[in-house]
Amino acid sequence: MAAPSAVLKSEWTKVRTVSSTMWTLAAAVVLTAAVGALLSGVMNATYDDLSRAEQLTFDPTLVSFFGMMLGQLAMVVFGVLVVSTEYSSGMIRTSLAAVPQRAAFYVSKVVVATLLALVVGLLTSFVTFFVGQALLGDHSASITDDNVLRAVIGAGLYMTVITMFSMGVAAMLRSTVLSLGLLMAFFFLISSILAGVPATRDVARYLPDQAGSAVMQVVPGALDSDKLPYGPWGGFGIMCAWTAAALIGGYAVLKKRDA
């Protein structure tokens, strides 16, 4: 029986020695901060063009996270690669031979990737916030304002949980191409379409990305958008429930199917 510490060390070695995963994490930081900075500057320059309702519900913290969609994309790719690379290379058979306790193998992989995603997510959220606020000028918020710190930390947690969700899906599908194809379509097409159609908007609010993003809002109904039927942590809780289901499903597949 492999010692838990040895399994964790093995998974850490796998993650840090695969250049694609590390570059993906770096891309998450750069893309989120860069796009957030660009859009914060644009919003500062065009603030007077906003409607009165949009000005009254202006949320500078949320504006600085407008680049989160690209950061989310990078974290999805990271989560998928951590799990699916071993299947595509055939190394999964070697890994399971070395660690026959599949629960220990799976949990160790999730724990290592989650901790790394948490560090990167929090770094990204704080860098993105401070850069964005610097470019918002007189319309900026302070980290000490009510609920701002919660939103900034929440943005980092959002990136972490989206990684975990992607890992669960990848464990179920066991294919990089299939996992990325499904997740990209879900987050960047299906979710957006459902959220934009009045008839399905109420359903879309309970999808993982739509619900989880509520934790990044400081002003309810930001920029004159519809108010959500749950609070910031309520929405994040919905996202966590989706993620738990995905991770459990991933373990069920790993336990029952041959490598």
pLDDT tens column, 119-151: 999 999 999 999 999 999 999 999 999 999 999
Domain residue spans of the chain: 4-256
> What does the pLDDT read at residue 227?
87
pTM recorded for the entire structure: 0.93
Task: Answer yes or no: are the C-beta atoms of 208 and 157 closer than 8 Å.
Answer: no
How confident is the prediction for the chain on average, in pLDDT? 92
pLDDT of 245 strictly over 60: yes
In Å, how far are 130, 201, 229, 246 from 226, measured between CA atoms? 27, 10, 9, 28
Percentage of the chain surpassing pLDDT 90? 71
